[in-house]
């Protein structure tokens, strides 16, 4: 069973860049590695994925502010969101996708609050 663990600052100031990392227990070559978020009181939003080759796919709603990367030597992948606002306050999950567009393993999620 794949285990994923998110890490990163829980508090980010408006207009700054938010960075999160997900550490993976299994081979990082096996899946598409995905970020999903859930804003307070709202539903789930797909952010995008990164593949071990470095290929990425982002949700058009966030594409201009999102960058994902992968470090195969550390079995980690990362998310950066620039110019954050209060609307980016959410629980951020990392997850695995076998390539079929659904998510079979998830991390527990990490809350990121955007506030001055």
Binding positions for another protein, rule: CB under 8 A? 4, 42-46, 57, 59-61, 93, 95, 100-109
- Token output for 84: 């954050």
- Token output for 103: 């998510």
Nearer to another protein, 16 or 39 (CB): 39
Q: Which residues pair with 65 in a beta bridge?
A: none
Nearer to another protein, 13 or 98 (CB): 98
Angle made by CA atoms 95, 111, 107, in degrees to the nearest 5: 25
Q: How far is the CB of 73 from another protein (least distance, A)?
A: 25
Q: How far is CA 13 from the centre of its chain?
A: 18
Q: How far is the CB of 90 from another protein (least distance, A)?
A: 13
Q: How far is the CB of 38 from another protein (least distance, A)?
A: 8
Nearer to another protein, 7 or 106 (CB): 106
Judge contact between 36 and 88, C-beta under 8 A. no
């Amino acid at each position: 069973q794949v285990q994923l663990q998110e890490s990163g600052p829980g508090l980010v100031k408006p207009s700054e860049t938010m960075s999160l990392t997900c550490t993976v227990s299994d081979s990082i070559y096996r899946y598409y590695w995905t970020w999903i978020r859930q804003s307070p009181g709202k539903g789930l939003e797909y952010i995008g994925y990164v593949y071990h080759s470095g290929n990425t796919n982002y949700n058009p709603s966030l594409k201009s502010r999102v960058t994902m990367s992968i470090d195969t030597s550390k079995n980690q992948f990362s998310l950066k969101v620039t110019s954050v606002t209060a609307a980016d306050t959410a629980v951020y999950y990392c997850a695995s996708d076998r390539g079929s567009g659904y998510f079979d393993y998830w991390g527990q999620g990490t809350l990121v609050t955007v506030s001055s």
